[in-house]
Structure 1
Amino acid sequence: MVLPAESRQYRCSETEAPAAGSPAAGSVFAETWLDLRERADHAARAGLLHPPLNDWLQQRAGQSRQPLQLVDLGCGHGSNLRYLAPRLTGPQQWLLVDHDAALLERTSQRCARLTDDRAQPIHVARRQADLQQPLALDFEHADLISASALLDLVSHQWLEQLAECCHRHAAAALLTLSIDGVIELCDASGQRCEDERDRQLFEALAHHQQRDKGFGTALGSDAPAAARAIFEASGHRVTTARSDWHLAAARDDDCTLLRQLFKGWQQALMEQLPTQQAVITEWYHRHLRQLDAGRLGARIGHLDLLALPPDGAK
């Protein structure tokens, strides 16, 4: 997903990096965006993946009273952990992994009082790490590697490394909120209303989403299909489920989120189509007027993926 330029989480070619000596500067902007999208993310998550994941984790734990070893890769401000912890059964030990040390510290503090589905406290640790090479990260004892809203930023090779990491350690993977290229605009009654100009610009946006985001050529909206194929090739049992954002025209927080999305889309399109800036500017302001009038909503397509190791893998 293309974020507003000031809110992207990693080394994106589309935006200037925070000034040297002030690593928290970009993180503050990122957290503003992440806070804004959290309600939509949590409402969209595919709950039908939780029972098979919980069943597998309990089988993995057996009679042991040891905590489950869970990883949140590219954890951001901890939205994925806040969503999952109260939905997973049994003692939990989470490892938060991100490249931003200041953000990691704030996130671990923010998540320190979370509990599992039986209201028992969980344990949270953190690790600052470069995320570019999943195989270089030591997840030897992990039961589950999870990531949210990350796959569209990474490359095919990065996903192959992640699948290999899960295969080596017989770990499950839960990879959620991956964009799949669906953007449907709707009016106040919920009827689709995108026109030919919208479709042309969204196609250009899809190409922009495949620029290098710091992990090699980004998969963009091809990420869900690539992830499924790669994990199945490694022997995992893969289940996917839709996790679309449904943003209503008259709901204030949905309109605020959409306004930020359009801002990010405008900036990306200006880079992708530099000779069409007047067209893009008119398109952007037309949709802002519709948002201000409570006449524009959207469905933004996402998929969640659960990959379980082959039966008997340990």
Structure 2
Amino acid sequence: MVLPSAHYQGFGSDTGSSPPESRLPGSIFAEGWLDLREHADHAARATALHEPLVRWLQQRSGLLGPLQMVDLGCGHGSNPRYLTSRLPGPQQWLLMDHDGELLERTSQRCSQLVDNSQRAISVTRRQADLKQPAALDIERADLISASALIDLVSAHWLEQLVECCHQHEAAALLTLSIDGVIELFDDQQRRYEEPPDRRLLEALHQHQQRDKGFGKALGSQGPDRAKILFEACSYQVTTARSDWQLKADSPADRALLRQLLGGWRTALQEQLPKEETMIEDWYLRHIQRLDDEQLSARIGHIDLLALPPESGI
């Protein structure tokens, strides 16, 4: 079975395939969802991109003071918590999110982090709605990072992000972007497919490209579009897979997959309102297989690293 992924992050946008605790488009997703997905996010990250980014940051370090890192839509800080100890310093992070209360908790949490030389990092925060153009008015940046973002934004918004990176000669690390593929398996790791899947695939693709607050969403086209835009600015772009591998015998993976199935059900019912009964039956069959530990999944994602021209790396 192949289905496009529903994907979320705490910067205040809805993919249209929302877990049960998500709110309306333009609002932040519950921290419980962010906690639930973090183990899969961290396990999936493309480690092959670390070494070239570290080398580039080492060259950049000290030129204008501490390395200035920006995390767009930081949510509860999963991205900096993953990156800081793997990257050189000194690091000063600017965390951006539209939810002020969450942003305060996240900045306090991240202020305890250290870089790869065990030096404490510095953290500042900025409450900003990323849907507004002024959100990308950044004074200085060496690295601009975002997780689970570019599948939600419009082509025009992505162009603005690339221009922002180019203006600052900053590297970009855009991680965990959906590539439009989910494979489901049975307990013997055989592909599991049902007759309605092709129709549901197309419906979910269409739903992913609805306006998420930024204009028509790129959906699974996001990684390819980002690569084209950065290369047009002579950036050196490297992509690597960062798939979620959700196992039937893992309680944490089953909990995450349960939330995803609920999100797909909601999206499909919105996209195919006359097929509610068929969609509900489809959903309940999958939930039963999940409860019986007979359903696992590979959720396709792409990580992208873009290094400025003449970086020599």
Work out whether the TM-score is over 0.5: yes
Quote the offset at 1:195 in angstroms.
2.5
1:12–1:212: 8 Å Cα contact kept in structure 2?
A: no
TM-score by length of 1: 0.91
Partner of residue 142, structure 2:
143
Quote the offset at 1:200 in angstroms.
2.3
Amino acid at match of 1:46: A
What is the distance in 2 between the residues matched to 1:9 and 1:287?
Answer: 30
Partner of residue 310, structure 1:
309
Quote the offset at 1:101 in angstroms.
0.9
What residue ranges of structure 1 are gaps of 5+ in the alignment? none
SS state at 1:189 partner: coil
* C-alpha distance after superposition, 1:163-200 (max 9, x if no partner): 11111110010000000001100011222112332232
What is the distance in 1 between the residues matched to 2:311 and 2:253?
Answer: 44
Tell me the matched-pair count.
Answer: 303
Deviates more, 1:186-195 or 1:50-59: 186-195
What is the distance in 1 between the residues matched to 2:134 and 2:308?
Answer: 17
1:3–1:264: 8 Å Cα contact kept in structure 2?
A: no
Judged with a 3 Å threshold, the aligned counterparts in structure 2 of structure 1 residues 43 and 312 are, in CA distance, closer, same or farther, namely: closer
1:268-283 superposed matches below 5 A: 268-283=267-282
SS state at 1:153 partner: coil
Quote the offset at 1:273 in angstroms.
0.4
1:95-174 superposed matches below 5 A: 95-133=94-132, 137-174=136-173
Amino acid at match of 1:57: L
Amino acid at match of 2:6: V
1:13–1:214: 8 Å Cα contact kept in structure 2?
A: no
Judged with a 3 Å threshold, the aligned counterparts in structure 2 of structure 1 residues 80 and 274 are, in CA distance, closer, same or farther, namely: same
1:135–1:164: 8 Å Cα contact kept in structure 2?
A: no
What is the distance in 2 between the residues matched to 1:195 and 1:12?
Answer: 27
Partner of residue 6, structure 2:
2
What is the distance in 2 between the residues matched to 1:121 and 1:198?
Answer: 49
1:10–1:213: 8 Å Cα contact kept in structure 2?
A: no
Amino acid at match of 2:40: A
1:135–1:165: 8 Å Cα contact kept in structure 2?
A: no
Partner of residue 255, structure 1:
254
RMSD: 2.2
TM-score by length of 2: 0.91
* C-alpha distance after superposition, 1:61-101 (max 9, x if no partner): 2x558311000001111000100001001211000011111
Q: Among the aligned pairs, what percent are the same residue?
A: 62
The higher relative CO (CA closer than 8 Å, separation ≥ 6) is in 2
Deviates more, 1:173-182 or 1:194-203: 194-203
SS state at 1:287 partner: helix
SS state at 2:30 partner: helix
2:93–2:121: 8 Å Cα contact kept in structure 1?
A: yes
SS state at 1:194 partner: coil
Partner of residue 199, structure 2:
200
Judged with a 3 Å threshold, the aligned counterparts in structure 2 of structure 1 residues 13 and 198 are, in CA distance, closer, same or farther, namely: closer
Quote the offset at 1:8 in angstroms.
7.0
Quote the offset at 1:58 in angstroms.
1.0
What residue ranges of structure 2 are gaps of 5+ in the alignment? none
1:1-314 superposed matches below 5 A: 1-2=5-6, 9-12=11-14, 27=28, 30-61=30-61, 64=63, 66-133=65-132, 137-311=136-310
